[in-house]
Chains A and B, each alone.
Chain A
Amino acid sequence: MDVISPSLTLYQKIKLFLVFFCAALSFSCAEGEPTNKVHVNYENGKAVSVSFKVEGQSDYVVFLKQSDLTPVLGTMTHDTQAYTFIPVVAFTPGKTYDIRKNGHTIESFTIDNPRKGEKPELVAIYPSLDTVPQNLLKMYFVFSEPMQHSRRALDFIKVFDNTIQEETDVFLEMQTELWNKEHTQLTLWLDPGRIKTDLIPNREKGLPLLQNHLYTILIDSLWKSAKGHSLSKKYTKTFHVLEKDLKRPTVDSWNVVVPQKGGQSPLEIYFDEPLDAILTKETIQITNSEGESLSGVLSLSENEFKLEFKPIEKWTAGKYSIYVDPVLEDLAGNNLQRLFDTDISTQTNSAERQNNILNFMIE
């Protein structure tokens, strides 16, 4: 490369000036246009910001592609190298966005859509038995991973009365849906106003479930996880409706199989009716003679008829208790203290306290 020296001729100087002028001209023509492509920045798989290089400064905004409703909310910053836009919430996988200046799109970018992840599964529906009491109060749906927070659960759940061959509404629509913290477990109530005797909903529409009818619950595969993956398949559950359950759970009618000392075989508790699958494990604990709760694992089986407690330490001889929190409910929402649908004008023993402790001895 030649070095420009003071000994250049006038002609050479003019020529050089023109070269620079043209270069500067072409440079200024390109001002405002992206000279280098857009770069989407990902953190933990989420598209948290976009950087783009343009020369000069201007008011750039980001829009969802083909949308003129409103710009995407976020913070636009720039340094000498590039503009960076951080949206209020991460960009949506699979969506395309425009960077616009004065209403004109100067660049577009698309967010990666790693939709190849595992599809969520519906792991369990409780009660798991294929017969339920007519006054069944609630059902649980347990998923393998957190489900989406935007659409309503009942958009994906339909109930079909096989006996009369009609779709039917049995679940109560709630503005606040009842999910666990992880958003993997949904509770649906069968309309309590229809279960409670003589409330207007009960009089107008009767009980949600009809005795001796066969029902099928259909769960649509379009239901998505929080990551945006649809369920792996459609799910169904069919059950038959029996008579009403008008009895409170009573611990005295449970059978307990006591393990032997020195071992770690589980304590087995057999109920005389299936109990609430979620509450049972949370409301029952095994205590020693000091009243201390034993560490161990509780597991339900046999369609929520049986609870096993496997201790972490070996059983030693002594007195033990099975302590039951009185809020434990059966499938009809009857707990140890009261029936779900209580008519206290006829029930004289409503205040009677139920036993909630079962003692056993290991010898």
Chain B
Amino acid sequence: MKKFILPVIVLALAFYGLSSWTTHETSRNLTADFEYGDLQIGSINALSFGPEGILFIGDSKNAMVYAVDTKDTGVKDEGGEINMRNFDQTIAASLGTTADKITISDMVVNPKSKTPYFGVNLEDGTAVLLRLKGEALENVSLKEVSFSKTSLANAVDANAKDRRERPLRVWAIADLKFHGDRVLVSGLSNKEFASTFRSIPFPFNDSQDQTSLEIWHAAHGKYETHAPIKTFDIVSLNNQDYLMASYTCTPLVLFPMNELENGKHIKGRTVAELGAGNSPLDMISYQKEGKQYFLMSNSNRPVMRLDYEDIANFKETLTEPVTEFAVATGVPYDNLPFPYVQQMDNLDDSHVLYIQRTGNGELILRSRSTKWM
């Protein structure tokens, strides 16, 4: 009997081990090279969630992208109703200070747990990551955490043998998104006016693709090659992924993702121009009644809604100039009655979470059904 039991136990344990290995294979691989310790974060400028509760943090000050294992992997279907008033004051109070001494640099919702995360920078340069559980704010420690990182600093110009100490080219992170198995980062230089868009494989290794994206500027049949991207999202149109980018010059431009290759200049097509003095802040997509929409919050315009079909059907070619008429109209958009929305993300399948400065100057954090958007 004993002879029989032992192999069964061994077999059962082996099977258990194998099944648990396969179950956690994804997360094991993604965090395999993570280290534990202090991120030594310089600033939090952009946040984006990847799979398995991994949060990507863009740090302009250190020119780094960090992948942080938040361990926040519990699955929830709904984010629940969120309605917090005086939100900047609440965040400030939780950090023992007043609202004039903090800034909320980015907000992102964990798509698994539906927990909102906030990047906060303080007057003295301290950066803190907070999350909202129910109505309580929690600190997410960046000092004792499992993480990996990759640098965004460009190598020193290799054209001359350089013995003088020269500062590395450093890019301020304008936006950051995780897509597929890559972290996409748009960068702004505090010196030269240039376009940099990085595509970084994750888990991080030494290779980084750097693509110069080229705008097709329709008005006079010109190519613009050097305006930096401020904010972007990945949209899927007719089963193809596109980079939807908004530039410092404000046009909304589409680039096919499969054409983004290292060092290659690719051409995008302008699908809409959004008006003067305006600066797009956040972009998200959502579905409503079987249709896909695209929302964009702006610095000086209400939230704009674009219909995916309109974008997909906007089939101006890339090689021929668009007519003046088409440029003036572009893809049609609706202005939703939400001005001064500073941060926005999908809370769950049917709700959007946003931070808005109201007419009386109050900063609120609120969820809203996409039924009304």
Contact = CB atoms under 8 A, between A and B. Distances in A.
Contacts of A176: 45-46, 60, 172-174, 188, 230
A199 B279 contact: no
Interface stretch (B214-222, B257-265, B288-296, B347-355): B214-222
Interface in A305-358: 323, 325, 327, 329, 333, 335, 338, 340, 342-345
Contacts of B219: 197-199
A137 interface: yes
Interface string B136-160: 1111000000000000000001011
Interface string B36-63: 0000001101100000000000001111
B269 to A, nearest CB: 15
Interface residues of B, number: 80
A308 to B, nearest CB: 15
A198 B249 contact: no
B275 A71 contact: no
Nearest to A175: B281
Interface stretch (A86-94, A209-217, A239-247): A86-94
A291 to B, nearest CB: 6
Contact of A175 (B122, B139, B191, B279): B279
B274 A285 contact: no
Interface in A274-290: 276, 278-279, 282, 285, 287, 290
Contacts, number: 227
Nearest to B328: A200
Q: Say what secondary structure dominates the interface of chain A.
A: loop
Contacts of B90: 69-70
Contacts of A226: 123-125
B16 interface: no
Given A146-B125, A344-B223, A345-B221, A92 B96 contact: yes
A292 B162 CA distance: 6
Nearest to B248: A192
Contacts of A327: 192, 194
Interface stretch (B26-34, B99-107, B201-209, B235-243): B99-107
B42, B136, B190 interface centre (most CB from chain A within 10 Å): B190
A112 interface: no
A345 B95 CA distance: 55
A178 B45 CA distance: 12
Q: Say what secondary structure dominates the interface of chain B.
A: loop
Interface stretch (B108-116, B163-171, B308-316, B356-364): B163-171
Interface stretch (A28-36, A157-165, A179-187): A179-187
Interface in A188-208: 189, 191-194, 196-202, 204-205
Contact of A73 (B94, B217, B220, B226): B94
B89, B161, B163, B193 interface centre (most CB from chain A within 10 Å): B193
Contact of B191 (A70, A71, A199, A279): A279
B275 A224 contact: no
Contacts of A325: 157, 159
A201 to B, nearest CB: 4
Given A150-B121, A325-B159, A338-B226, A199 B250 contact: yes
Contact of A64 (B86, B97, B126, B275): B97
Contacts of B299: 173, 175
A293 interface: yes
A62 interface: yes
Contacts of B46: 176
Contacts of A89: 95-97, 122, 126, 128
B78 interface: no
B22 interface: no
B161 A72 contact: no
A281 to B, nearest CB: 9
A174, A175, A278, A282 interface centre (most CB from chain B within 10 Å): A175
Contacts of B159: 323, 325
A74 B95 CA distance: 9
9 nearest A-B pairs in the assembled complex, by CB-CB distance: A201-B276, A193-B249, A178-B190, A200-B273, A204-B276, A198-B219, A72-B96, A92-B97, A69-B93
Interface of A: 62-64, 67, 69-74, 87-92, 95, 97, 137-138, 146, 148-152, 169, 172-181, 183, 185, 187, 189, 191-194, 196-202, 204-205, 224, 226-228, 276, 278-279, 282, 285, 287, 290-296, 323, 325, 327, 329, 333, 335, 338, 340, 342-345
26 contacts: A72-B96, A73-B139, A88-B94, A89-B97, A92-B97, A95-B96, A137-B193, A148-B123, A175-B231, A177-B172, A178-B190, A187-B191, A192-B248, A193-B249, A199-B249, A200-B273, A201-B276, A276-B191, A285-B160, A285-B162, A323-B159, A325-B157, A329-B193, A340-B193, A343-B222, A344-B222
